[in-house]
């Protein structure tokens, strides 16, 4: 709990530091805050504390996810030092809003009451609506923000309506009580409860961008400032899945058959739609948006193959995925700068010629996303497949294997561009800090894949 309070305090502090008119101190202060939060979070390990009449339960599951999100946010802030250097106004707000969003994410990992989940999702979303519109003069950024806001609120109403219906049927917001209430029907739920649950699932599915509720994500990813996109693709997705898992694991599993089938269909659709759409993309940000949808499918696969280790696999997968995605966005930012603001895949051309080390680390990162050994991404997929095959979902696993192959096509398409000759090589500049961070991330992805095969929860 102290971690959550400290995080909020630092958010407000960073917001007020905006008055000092000194951009250089913002990132260090924010990072100090995050590190302090990290330390406080870790200290709660194994305590299993409960707050607000059990509405929040901070157990090992939530701490593990919080720590993973904190690490990724620290990474994004470190990259932000360079990214926000060119921005004149409102830099403090950017950092503060991300910290506030992270506060919401903390609530999403530790709720045990649907109201708390609703609060978490809203606290996460509202800063994101603003962040997506971070480039005030950019038409596309405004579009992204507005689109995200409209669709996001629409999904929220579904979610809220679902909570109301479930409350109407069961007279409680507490997940464990809802679980016992559902159990007494032995799979034949009254319609009100069924519809309520379905709406809740739709609301959460929208947040993690599972097909067919994914339509917002490519547009929003494309339009938002790239660093915000990186934040959305990683931290928000992690938080969404933590909430999803908690919702299912603590309350709703075993789901009634129709709902479970719905989720399986959503899983397969994510894998299929994400891949097929990604094949046709020429814009790198849209490509990563669709590939994120595919990864969502794999995470759903891990989550729905119910097993004790599902949570651990899910955490490993999200963390490894985030660790590879953030530096890729940063590399993209640099290539974009070198090519006068283009976002096509062809901007990667000539990278190997100019910065061989960068091309090598990009190879490692893309290999991790594609799931090739010896990177951590392979191990994450391997563990997902172990889960799903050991739970007997053979046909779906084979389908997922085929989808993984398609993924390799577009990741290696990008890679191929990086190793091709460029027609007009403009000098590619990268500052030391970012270079070091990219190398660290690449090395981490590689070393995690070789030495660290699981995370404790």
Partner 1 sequence: MILIIILLLPIITGFFLLLLRNPATVRIVALTSAIANLLLTLGLIISVPATTYTISSTHFMGTQFTLGYDGISLIMLLLTNLLFPFIILSGFTRSHVQIPVLNFLILFTQSSLIGVFLAQNAFLFYIFWELTLIPVYFILLLWGGENRRAVTLKFFIYTLTGSLFLLFGIIYLFTLTPGLHTTDFSAFNQLHIPAATQTWLFWILFIAFAIKMPVFPFHTWQPSTYTMASKQGVMILAGVMTKMGIYGALRFLFPIVPQGVLYWQNTVIIMCLTGVVYASVIAFRQTNIKRLIAFSSMAHISLMAAAIFALNYYSLQGLLFQVISHGVTIVALFYLVHLIQERTGTLELPQMGGLKHVAPNMAILLLMVVLGSIALPLTSGFVGEFLIITGLAKQSIWIAVFGGTTMILGAIYMLYAYQRIMLGEPNPNFVKIKDIRALDYFILVPLIAIIFILGVYPQPILNLVEASVTSMQKLLIPANEVISLLTR
Residue 453 interacts with partner 1 (CB under 8 A): yes or no:
yes
Give CA–CA dist 372/129, Å, rounded.
35
The contact pattern for partner 1, residues 351-370, with x = CB under 8 A and - = no contact, is ----------------x---
Indicate the helix (H) or strand (E) that contains 386: helix 376-390
Q: Provide the mask over 370-409, with x wherever binding to partner 1 is found by CB under 8 A and - wherever it is not.
A: --xxx---x---xx-xx--xx---x--xx--xx-xx--xx
- Token code pair at residue 104: 């919401």
140 vs 416, beta carbon nearer partner 1: 416
Is there a contact between 69 and 238 (Cβ–Cβ < 8 Å)? yes
Distance CA 6, CA 425 (A): 47
Whose Cβ is closer to partner 1: residue 162's or residue 449's?
449
Q: Looking at beta carbons only, is 205 or 364 nearer to partner 1?
A: 364
b/e string for 120-157 if b means 16 or more Cβ within 10 A? bbbbbbbbbbbbbbbbeeeeebbbbbebbbebbeebbe
CA distance 102 to 34: 10
CB of 211 to partner 1, least distance (A): 22
Shortest distance (Å) from residue 386 CB to partner 1: 5
Q: For residues 133 and 173, give the distance between their C-alpha atoms in angstroms, rounded to a whole number.
A: 34
Instruction: For partner 1, give the closer residue by CB, 330 or 365.
Output: 365
Residue 273: CB minimum distance to partner 1, A: 20
**Smallest distance from the beta carbon of 445 to partner 1, in angstroms?**
14
Which lies closer to partner 1 via its Cβ, residue 32 or residue 405? 405
Strands, E, within 366-441: which ranges? none
- Residue 253 Cβ, how far from partner 1 at the closest point, in Å? 21
CB atoms within 10 A of CB 317: 25
Among 130, 419, 426, 435, binds partner 1 (CB under 8 A): 419
Q: State the minimum distance, in angstroms, from the CB of residue 383 to partner 1.
A: 8
Distance CA 274, CA 63 (A): 30
Q: Closest approach of Cβ 55 to partner 1, in Å? A: 37
Torsion angles phi and psi, residue 57, rounded to 5: -125, 115
φ/ψ of residue 283, rounded to 5: -95, 130
Half-sphere exposure of residue 383, counting CA atoms within 13 Å on the CB side?
26
For partner 1, give the closer residue by CB, 91 or 404. Answer: 404
- 217 near 277, Cβ under 8 Å? no
* Given 40, 412, 435, 455, the residue binding partner 1 (CB under 8 A): 412
Closest to partner 1 by CB, 25 vs 398, is 398
For partner 1, the closer of residues 239 and 367 by Cβ is 367
Nearest-approach distance from CB 420 to partner 1, in angstroms: 7
| Separation in Å, CA 366 to CA 71, 95, 292, 349, 399 | 20, 28, 13, 15, 22
The least distance separating partner 1 from the CB of residue 401, rounded to whole angstroms, comes to 5
Q: In this complex, which beta carbon is closest to partner 1, that of residue 28 or of residue 392?
A: 392
Spatial distance between the Cα atoms of 105 and 125, rounded to a whole number of angstroms: 9
Task: Give 136 or 416: the residue with its C-beta nearer to partner 1.
Answer: 416
Residue closer to partner 1 by CB (options 212, 356) is: 356
Shortest separation between residue 385's beta carbon and partner 1, angstroms:
5
β-bridge partners, 111: 56
Instruction: Write down the least CB distance from residue 364 to partner 1, Å.
Output: 10
Binding residues with partner 1: total (CB under 8 A): 27
Cα separation, 59 vs 110, in Å, equals 7
What is the distance in angstroms between the CA of the first residue and the CA of the last residue of the chain? 18
List CB contacts of 356: < 8 A, sequence separation 6 or more: none
- Determine the length of the chain: 457
Shortest distance, position 351 Cβ to partner 1, whole Å? 13
Q: Which stretch binds partner 1 (CB under 8 A): 60-68, 194-202, 413-421, 437-445?
A: 413-421
Nearer to partner 1, 32 or 450 (CB): 450
Cα 335 to Cα 135, 339, 363: the distances in Å are: 19, 6, 15
Contact 391, 260 (CB under 8 A): no
Contact footprint for partner 1 (CB under 8 A): 367, 372-374, 378, 382-383, 385-386, 389-390, 394, 397-398, 401-402, 404-405, 408-409, 412-413, 416, 419-420, 453-454
């Amino acid at each position: 709990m102290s971690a959550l309070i400290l995080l909020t305090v630092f958010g407000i502090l960073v917001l007020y530091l905006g008055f000092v008119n000194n951009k250089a101190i913002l990132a260090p202060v924010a990072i100090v805050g995050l590190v302090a939060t990290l330390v406080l979070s870790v200290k709660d390990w194994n305590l299993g504390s409960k707050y607000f009449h059990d509405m929040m339960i901070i157990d090992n599951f939530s701490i593990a996810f919080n720590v993973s999100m904190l690490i990724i946010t620290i990474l994004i802030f470190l990259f932000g030092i360079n990214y926000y250097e060119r921005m004149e106004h409102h830099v403090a707000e950017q950092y503060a809003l991300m910290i506030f969003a992270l506060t919401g994410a903390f609530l999403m990992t530790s709720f045990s009451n649907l109201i708390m989940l609703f609060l978490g999702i809203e606290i996460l979303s509202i800063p994101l609506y603003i962040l997506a519109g971070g480039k005030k003069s950019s038409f596309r950024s405004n579009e992204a923000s507005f689109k995200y806001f409209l669709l996001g609120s629409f999904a929220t109403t579904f979610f809220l309506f679902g909570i109301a219906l479930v409350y109407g049927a069961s007279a409680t917001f507490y997940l464990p009580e809802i679980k016992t209430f559902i159990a007494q029907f032995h799979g034949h739920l009254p319609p009100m409860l069924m519809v309520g649950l379905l709406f809740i699932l739709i609301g959460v599915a929208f947040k993690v961008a599972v097909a067919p509720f994914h339509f917002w994500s490519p547009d929003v990813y494309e339009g938002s400032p790239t660093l915000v996109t990186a934040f959305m693709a990683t931290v928000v997705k992690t938080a969404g899945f933590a909430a999803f898992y908690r919702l299912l694991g603590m309350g709703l599993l075993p789901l009634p058959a129709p709902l479970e089938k719905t989720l399986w269909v959503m899983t397969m659709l994510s894998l299929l739609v994400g891949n097929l759409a990604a094949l046709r993309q020429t814009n790198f940000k849209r490509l990563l948006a669709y590939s994120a949808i595919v990864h969502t499918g794999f995470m759903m696969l891990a989550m729905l193959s119910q097993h004790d280790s599902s949570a651990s696999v899910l955490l490993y997968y999200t963390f490894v995925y985030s660790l590879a995605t953030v530096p890729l966005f940063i590399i993209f930012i640099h290539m974009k700068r070198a090519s006068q603001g283009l976002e096509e895949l062809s901007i990667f051309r000539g990278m190997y010629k100019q910065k061989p080390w960068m091309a090598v680390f990009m190879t490692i990162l893309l290999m991790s996303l594609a799931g090739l050994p010896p990177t951590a991404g392979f191990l994450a997929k391997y563990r997902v497949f172990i889960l799903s095959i050991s739970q007997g979902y053979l046909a779906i696993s084979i389908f997922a294997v085929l989808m993984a192959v398609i993924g390799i096509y577009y990741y290696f398409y990008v890679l191929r561009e990086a190793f091709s000759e460029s027609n007009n090589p403009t000098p590619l500049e990268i500052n030391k800090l970012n270079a070091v961070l990219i190398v660290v991330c690449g090395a981490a992805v590689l070393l995690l894949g070789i030495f660290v095969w699981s995370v404790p929860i």
